[in-house]
Amino acid sequence: MTPQLQRLESIITFILSLARSHQATQAEASAEIETGFSVTVHQGKPETIEYESNNAIDITVYFDQRKASVSTSDMSENSLKKVVEKACNIAKFTDSDPCAGLADASLMCAKPIDLDLYYPWHISPEQAIDLALQCEAIGLNTDKRIKRSEEVMISTGQHFYCYGNTHGFIGTIPSTRHLIDCNFIAEEKGQMERDFSFTLSRDPKDLASVQAVAKDAAHRSVNRLLPQKLKTQKVPVIFEARAAKNLLGAFVSAVSGNALYRKASFLLDSLDLPIFPDFVQIHEEPYLKKGLGSTFFDAEGVVTAPKYFIKNGCLESYVLNSYSARKLNMQTTGNAGGVFNLMIDPNDLNLDQLMKMMGKGLLITELIGQGINLVTGDYSRGAFGFWIENGHIQYPVSGITIAGNLRDMFKGIMAISNDIEKQATIQTGSIFIDQMTVAGE
Residue 342 pairs with which residues in a beta bridge? Answer: 284, 426
pLDDT at 212: 97
Per-residue pLDDT of the chain (441 residues; tens, 9 = 90+): 889 999 999 999 999 999 999 999 999 999 999 999 999 999 999 999 999 999 999 999 999 999 999 999 999 999 999 999 999 999 988 999 999 999 999 999 999 999 999 999 999 999 999 999 999 999 999 999 999 999 999 999 999 999 999 999 999 999 999 999 999 999 999 999 999 999 999 999 999 999 999 999 999 999 999 999 999 999 999 999 999 999 999 999 999 999 999 999 999 999 999 999 999 999 999 999 999 999 999 999 999 999 999 999 999 999 999 999 999 999 999 999 999 999 999 999 999 999 999 999 999 999 998 889 999 999 999 999 999 999 999 999 999 999 999 999 999 999 999 999 889 999 999 999 999 999 987
Global pTM exceeds 0.75: yes
d(CA 351, CA 44): 35
pLDDT at 421: 87
Residue 271 pairs with which residues in a beta bridge? Answer: none
Beta strands in 3-104 (DSSP E): 26-42, 45-63, 66-72
pLDDT at 19: 97
End-to-end CA, the chain? 60
The pLDDT tens digits of the residues spanning 406-415 come to 999 999 999 9
pLDDT at 104: 97
pLDDT at 120: 97
H helix and E strand count, the chain: 9, 17
pLDDT at 380: 96
Top-level class of domain 3-223 = alpha beta
CA separation (Å) from 397 to 227, 394, 440?
5, 10, 10
pLDDT at 31: 98
The torsion angles phi and psi of 252, rounded to 5 degrees, stand at -60, -45
254 DSSP assignment: H
Asked if 22 and 81 count as a contact pair (C-beta separation under 8 A), the reply is no
Q: Which residues contact 21 (CB under 8 A, 6 or more apart)?
A: none
pLDDT at 198: 97
The pLDDT tens digits of the residues spanning 353-369 come to 999 999 999 999 999 98
pLDDT at 127: 97
Domain boundaries for CATH 3.30.2290.10 within the chain: 3-223
